[in-house]
A and B are shown apart, each in its own frame.
Chain A
Amino acid sequence: MNILEVKGITKTFGGVSAVADVSVNIEENTLLGIIGPNGSGKTTFVNIITGFVRPDKGSVVFKGKEMIGLPPYRVTNLGVGRAFQMVKPFFHLPAYKNIIVPLSSPRVRASSGGGYGDKDAMSLDILEEVGFERDSSVPYKTASVLPHGYLKRLELARLIALKSEVFILDELFSGLSIAEVTSITPIIEKLLLDGKTIIMVEHRLKELFRIADKVIVLNFGKKIKEGVPKEILEDEEVKKAYLGVEV
């Protein structure tokens, strides 16, 4: 069953087309990878799905509901969560307080019986899930002093707190060491086991292809290829797009 159907979305910025007529269907409980060279429109694509940018044309249907035109917070509350490429924590708040904000969203309140109660314990549980050591001082540190790896985990924790059904992870692995990537990958695999759907925009192809069910390749805003990782690896056009050489 398709949980998210993207049809023909197009967006032009001042004459340059950032995304041109991209369509893709995402099946429930699968991992879709989106790859492409720099400037190929990956982040714009994510921005459109999550409501941060309104496309010129096209439709995004989530569980039978049209999402184009909805503001980002409505999209989030429907169950499509989004992690930013440039991490956006609340820098002045401690890590565990960061998670209180999504826990206060209408979506979570509706599912957990409502009320603005004491959410510290819930927040600490979620942080432990993404690798903040519970009995250390890490969850209590201000976000501005946390290292990059933890901030990426914090982005992930926000989506888990939101009980999102679709996780859109914009270059989650960028700027992380191999060790950090290997420690985050199991978290993503566990999300898949829990029945979540995941869209990953990624430059780290090797790590992505290991876990992806399907991959689409964008180049100059157009979808040039869609298929399972193995097909993508062997595709001549994709190689051309990445390496920039005539084959």
Chain B
Amino acid sequence: MKERVIDGQNYRKERIARCIKARSDDIYALTSQKEMWYLLFPRIVPIVGIAIVAYLLPIYWKKVILTTCIFAMLAVSWDFLSSCGMLSLGQALFFGIGSFAAGGFNHYLHLPVYLTIPLATVTGGLISTMILLPVIRLRGIYFAMVTLILPLMLMRLIEATKLLGGTEGLTGLSPFPNEWVEVTLIMAAMWAALFGLRRFIASDYGLIFVSIRDNDRATMASGINIYAFKAQALFIGSSVCAFCGAFMTHSYQFTGMPVFAMEFSILPIAAAAIGGMNTLAGPLLGAMLLVPLSELLREFGTLRIVFYGAILIICVIGLPEGIFHYLSRKYNEMERWVKIE
């Protein structure tokens, strides 16, 4: 806490919740317009803002919005997994499996888009969970290392076995009817994922997931089968990523080895680190900043990854709480100087 001296008197900075914040936690939020807007404002502004960018700006920005939303969802899913005590360095694994599942359904079984995406979401989640089931007992960094290795190895596996198109990938997959559907779908999915997972985490059931991160041994001593819960969390988190993969596949009408690329693992973590971990909304905010930034830096070629790295290091050291925590503090709390007696 900061301190300063005015007229020979010591003051320190104090932070307290705004009255309106306290009130809007309660039943007032439903009875007073002011409180309702206080709650709605930070939710509506990004929703409307992104919709404006997506619908009104030229086609180039639609593509940017698509990529941004996909990475935002990957980041939200990463944060959800980390809220459940699973530090994943391999979102690309979930993403790639979803992508190949959608590609496979479409290419070999000729299923239409509106079937492949939901199917790929569920099967992708299931396959990812099955693959990670043997290592679900691992914690922290050990789990992270395994998840980092897996997508790269799967990439080699596809290269070696020439399954699912091998190095060429699957091309000529069915596209979406038109780009309006595309943009609307991904935005809807992103907000659904964010608000759905937030609601889920805050429920009594979701509380168990958070408790596993806090202290898994105490959760076990509370009679909870943490491995079953971790598997559930894995399924939820990887399904979200698998959806992104399936969506991307149909958007680009292509799936292939690049879907296991490191970028899909690293960018979500970067977004979470910058936006603020364990908030779910923070990573989304981070992705909203990072992905467009990377579009702007595109002309620098590979140098933009260098910029990324640098931004990441600076953020991790200098702003450990993340942007979201900072903003929500400013919004919900007020600061004042009080005398030190």
Q: Which residues of B contact A82 (CB under 8 A)?
A: 221
Least CB distance from B15 to A in Å reads 15
| Contact residues of A between 90 and 109, Cβ < 8 Å to B | 90-93, 97-98, 100-102, 104-108
Q: When the two chains form their complex, are residues B214 and A116 in contact, meaning their CB atoms are under 8 A apart?
A: no
Task: Map CB proximity to B onto A62-89 as digits: 1 under 8 Å, 0 otherwise.
Answer: 0000000001111011000110100011
- What's the Cα separation between A107 and B222 when bound, in Å? 10
Q: When the two chains form their complex, are residues B223 and A119 in contact, meaning their CB atoms are under 8 A apart?
A: no
Task: Map CB proximity to A onto B199-211 as digits: 1 under 8 Å, 0 otherwise.
Answer: 0000111011011
Q: When the two chains form their complex, are residues B211 and A72 in contact, meaning their CB atoms are under 8 A apart?
A: no
- What's the Cα separation between A89 and B210 when bound, in Å? 12
With known contacts A107-B223, A162-B223, A89–B218 Cβ distance under 8 A: yes
- B219 beta carbon closer than 8 Å to chain A: yes
- B185 beta carbon closer than 8 Å to chain A: no
Closest residue of chain A to B213, judged by CB? A92
- B226 beta carbon closer than 8 Å to chain A: yes
Q: When the two chains form their complex, are residues A97 and B207 in contact, meaning their CB atoms are under 8 A apart?
A: yes
Q: Which residues of B contact A76 (CB under 8 A)?
A: 220-223
Q: Which residues of A contact B218 (CB under 8 A)?
A: 84, 88-90, 101, 158
- What's the Cα separation between A71 and B228 when bound, in Å? 13
Least CB distance from B73 to A in Å reads 25
Least CB distance from B27 to A in Å reads 15
Q: Which residues of B contact A71 (CB under 8 A)?
A: 220, 225
With known contacts A88-B215, A91-B214, A158–B222 Cβ distance under 8 A: yes
Query: Which of A77, A93, A104 has most B Cβ within 10 Å?
Result: A104
- B224 beta carbon closer than 8 Å to chain A: yes
Closest residue of chain B to A76, judged by CB? B223
Q: What is the size, in residues, of chain A's interface with B at 8 Å between Cβ atoms?
A: 33
- B43 beta carbon closer than 8 Å to chain A: no
- What's the Cα separation between A97 and B215 when bound, in Å? 14
Q: When the two chains form their complex, are residues B224 and A93 in contact, meaning their CB atoms are under 8 A apart?
A: no
Select one of B203, B205, B214, B226 contacting A90, CB under 8 A.
B214
Q: Which residues of A contact B207 (CB under 8 A)?
A: 93, 97, 100-101, 104
Select one of B204, B214, B226 contacting A100, CB under 8 A.
B204
Q: Which residues of A contact B208 (CB under 8 A)?
A: 101, 104
Q: When the two chains form their complex, are residues B224 and A104 in contact, meaning their CB atoms are under 8 A apart?
A: yes
Least CB distance from A35 to B in Å reads 23
Least CB distance from B208 to A in Å reads 6
Select one of A92, A106, A158 contacting B221, CB under 8 A.
A158
Task: Map CB proximity to A onto B215-242 as digits: 1 under 8 Å, 0 otherwise.
Answer: 1011111111110000000000000000
- A209 beta carbon closer than 8 Å to chain B: no
| Contact residues of A between 105 and 129, Cβ < 8 Å to B | 105-108, 116-119
Least CB distance from A17 to B in Å reads 24
Q: When the two chains form their complex, are residues A73 and B204 in contact, meaning their CB atoms are under 8 A apart?
A: no
Least CB distance from A174 to B in Å reads 17
Least CB distance from A77 to B in Å reads 5
- What's the Cα separation between A158 and B211 when bound, in Å? 13
- A50 beta carbon closer than 8 Å to chain B: yes
Residues of A within 8 A of B (CB): 50, 52, 71-74, 76-77, 81-82, 84, 88-93, 97-98, 100-102, 104-108, 116-119, 158, 162
The 6 closest A-B pairs by CB, nearest first: A105-B223, A76-B223, A88-B218, A90-B214, A102-B222, A72-B220
